[in-house]
Structure 1
C-alpha cells in the first residue's frame, strides 16, 4: 500500500510540473527517467545495503569529527558561559557554520572542489543530456549557497535563455550549502541529510526540466574553474572563509529572530480568534493529504505537515528548531520523509535571495527571475516532495 501511495505522490509531482511546463513538446523524458532511476538506486544503496550504510556511517563520523573541531574553536570564544539543556543554537549550530565555511574556502583555493564539480557535472551532462552549465550548476549547488552557486556561472549568463535561467535558479533553491550541512546534522538525523543532498540535486533538475525544458544542448557552453577562489594564499582563503561563514551565521541568526518572533505574533493573533489554534496546525491540515501520500502514517500527518509548511513560509532552520520538540512522536519513516523535505532552500525568502543575486549579475535577467519567482518556489517545493517520497520508500 505504501508503495502505491508513493507512486501516486510522485505522479502528482510530475503531473503538476507538466501542467506548469512552458513547452511540453521539449520535455526530456529520457533524461528525467534516468535521473529517477538514479534516485531510486542511490536511496536503495544508501539505506538498504551494508556497504551503503557503512558509507553513510563513515561520512557521518567524518562530519561529527569536523563538528567537534568547530566546537573547539567556539569553546575558546564563548568559553565560561554556562550552558544548560541539550543544545545551544549559538554554540552547536551557528559557530559550526563558520568552521565549515572555512574548510570550503580552503578546498576551493587548492582547486579540489572546482575540479571535482566540473568533472562530476560533465558526467551528469553526458548521462542526462542536460547542457553543461545546468549540470555544473546543479553539482556546484551541492557545495555552495544560492548566491555563490549562481555567481560561479556568471560568465555564462549571456547564454542562458529564460528556461535555462529557471533551471539554474531551481537548482540553487532546491539544494543546500555544504557550509551549513554540519549545522543541519546537529538538528536532524545526519543520515537523512546526507541522502537528501544527491536526491535534491536530481529532483530539482527533474522538476525544472519539465517546467522549463531546454530545446537543444548548447555545444559552445563553457565551464571555467580558473581563479574561482580569489585568495592569494591558503591563509587568505581561511580568513575569507571565516568571514563568509560569520556573515552566513549572522544572517541565519537574524532571520531566525525575525521569523520565530513573527510566527509567535501570527499565532497570538490566530489564537485570539480561534482558541488553541496555531499557524503550524493550519498548515498541517492543509498539507495532510499530500503528506499522507508521501508515506507518513495517518496519526503523524498533521505534525509532519506543520513542519513542512513552516519550512516553506519561513525557512528550514525555523522548522528544524521545532523538529526536535516533536520528532520523538515520529516513526523512522516519518523522520526520513520530514528530514529530507527540510533539507533544501525551498522557501519564500529564497525567491528574494536568488532574484537579488541574478540582478547583481544582470539586471535584465534579475527582472525575469522576479517574474517567475512563485513558479520557482512551487517547482522547488515539488522537488522536495519528490525527494522525500523516494526516501520514504526505503525506510
Structure 2
C-alpha cells in the first residue's frame, strides 16, 4: 500500500509540474523518464545494497573526520569558554562552515572541483539530452550555495532565455551548499542528508524541465570554467574561503535569530486569538494529506507536516532544529522522508537571495527572475516532495 501511495505521490508531483509548464508540447519526456529511473537506481543502491551502504558510511565518516579537523580550529579559538551540556549551536555547528568553505575554495582554485563538475554535467547532458549549461549548473549546485552556483556561470548568462534562467535558478534553490552539509549532518542522520544531494539534483532537473522546457542550439551551449576562481594563490584561496565561510555562518545565525523570534511572535498572536494552536500545527494539518502520500505514517503526519511547513516559511535550519529532538520519537521512515525534504534551500527567503545574485550579474535577467519568483518556489517545493517520496519508497 505504501508503494502505491508513493507512486501516486510521484505522479501527482509531476502532474502539478506539468500544469505549471510554460510549453507543454516541448517537454522532453524521454529525459524525465531517464532521470526518474536514475533516481530510483541511486536510492535502491544506497539503501538496499551492501556496497551502497558502505559508500554512504565512508562518505559519512569522511565528513565526520573533516568535522573533527574543523573542531580543532574552533577549540583553539574558543578553548577558554566553558560550554554547557549540548554546547552552543553557533560554536559547535555553524562555525564548522568556515572550514568546509575553505576546503571548497581551495579545491576550486586547484580546478579539481570545476573539472569534476564539468564532466559529470557533460555525462548527465549526454544521457538525458538536457543542455550542458543546465546540467553543469545542476551538478555545481550540489557543491556551492545559491549565489556561488549562479556566479560560476555568469559568463554564459547572455545565452539564457527565460526558461533556461528558470532552470538554473531552480537548481540553486533546490540544492544545498556542501559547505553547510557538515552542519546538517551534526543535527540529522547523515545517510539521508547525503542521499538528498544527488536526488535533489535530478528532481530539480526533472521538475524544472517540465515547467520550463528548453531546446538549445549547440553553439549556445558551452561550459566555461576558466574564470571560476579569482584567487592568485592557494593561500589567497584559503583566506577568501575562510572569510566567505565566516560570512555564511554569521548570515545563518542572523537569519535563525530573526526567523525563530518571528515564529514565536506569530505563535503568540495566533494563540491570543485561538488558544492552544501554533503556526506549525496549522501547517501540519495543511500538509498532512500530502505527507500520507509521501509515505509518512498517519499518526506522525501532522507533526512531520508542521516541520516541513516551518521549513518553507522560515528556512531549513529552523526546521532541522525542530526535528532534531524528535529523532528518537518518530519512525525511521518518517525521519528519512522529512530529512530529505528539509535538505534544500526551498523557502521564501531564497527568492530574494537568487534575485539579488542575478541582479549583480545582469539587471535585465533579475527583472525576469522577480516575475517568476513564486513559481520558482512552488517548483522547488515540488522538487523536495519528489526527492522525499523517492526515499520513502525504499524505507
TM (norm. structure 1) is 0.99
More off after superposition, 238-247 vs 87-96: 87-96
1:275 CA displacement: 1.2
CA distance in 1, matches of 2:8, 2:149: 33
Cα separation, partners in 2 of 1:225 and 1:388, compared to 1, 3 Å: same
Distance 1:196 1:85 in 2: 30
Structure 1 residue 177: deviation in Å? 0.4
1:241 is aligned to 2:241? yes
Distance 2:80 2:320 in 1: 27
- Report Cα offsets for 1:76-126 as digits up to 9, x if no partner: 111121222334211221111000000000100111001001111111100
Instruction: Please name the residue that 2:221 is paired with.
Output: 221
Q: CA deviation at 1:232?
A: 1.2
SS of residue paired to 1:141 = helix
Aligned ranges for residues 111-126 of structure 1 at < 5 Å?
111-126=111-126
C-alpha separation in 2, matches of 1:232 and 1:87: 38
* 1:129 Cα offset (Å): 0.6
Question: Are 2:148 and 1:148 equivalent residues in the alignment?
Answer: yes
- Secondary structure of 2:215's partner? coil
* Distance (whole Å) between structure 2 residues aligned to residue 375 and residue 20 of structure 1: 8
Please tell me whether residue 358 in structure 1 is matched to residue 361 in structure 2. Answer: no
Question: In the alignment, is residue 319 of structure 1 matched against residue 319 of structure 2?
Answer: yes
Once residues 216 and 376 of structure 2 are traced to their aligned partners in structure 1, the CA distance between those partners, rounded to angstroms, is 22
What TM-score results when the alignment is normalised by the length of structure 2? 0.99
CA deviation vs aligned residue, 1:126-164 (integer Å, no higher than 9, x gap): 011111110010000011100000011111111101000
Q: Which residue of 1 aligns with 2:207?
A: 207
Distance 2:189 2:217 in 1: 39
Distance 1:219 1:279 in 2: 50
Aligned residue for 1:254, secondary structure, equals helix
Asked if 1:187 corresponds to 2:171, the answer is no
* Cross-structure match for 1:168: 168
- Are the structure 2 counterparts of residues 38 and 217 from structure 1 closer, same or farther at C-alpha, using a change threshold of 3 Å? farther
- Secondary structure at the counterpart of residue 214 of structure 1: coil
Q: Matched residue of 1:80: which SS?
A: coil
Aligned to 2:178: 178
Partner of 1:46: 46
For 1:47 and 1:85, locate their aligned partners in 2 and report how far apart those are by CA, in whole Å: 33
Partner of 2:135: 135
- Contact 2:159–2:220 at 8 Å: present in 1 too? no
Query: Separation in 2 of the partners of 1:158 and 1:5?
Result: 43
Equivalent position of 1:294 in the other structure? 294
**Range 258-267 or range 222-231, more displaced:** 222-231
Structure 2 gaps of 5+ residues are: none
> Equivalent residues in 2 for 1:363-378 (5 A)?
363-378=363-378
Instruction: Please list the CA deviations of residues 163-194 of structure 1 after superposition, one character each: whole Å capped at 9, or x if unmatched.
Output: 00000000000000011010111011000011
Q: Is the 8 A contact 1:71 1:91 kept in 2?
A: no
**Number of matched residues?**
395
Tell me, in whole angstroms, the C-alpha distance in 2 between the residues paired with 1:315 and 1:217: 37
Q: C-alpha separation between the residues in 2 aligned to 1:317 and 1:342?
A: 8
Aligned to 2:78: 78
User: Structure 1 regions of 5+ residues with no counterpart?
Assistant: none
CA distance in structure 1 between the aligned counterparts of 2:294 and 2:34, rounded to whole angstroms: 21
Residue in structure 1 matched with residue 282 of structure 2 by the alignment: 282
* Contact persistence 2:351–2:373 (CA under 8 A): yes
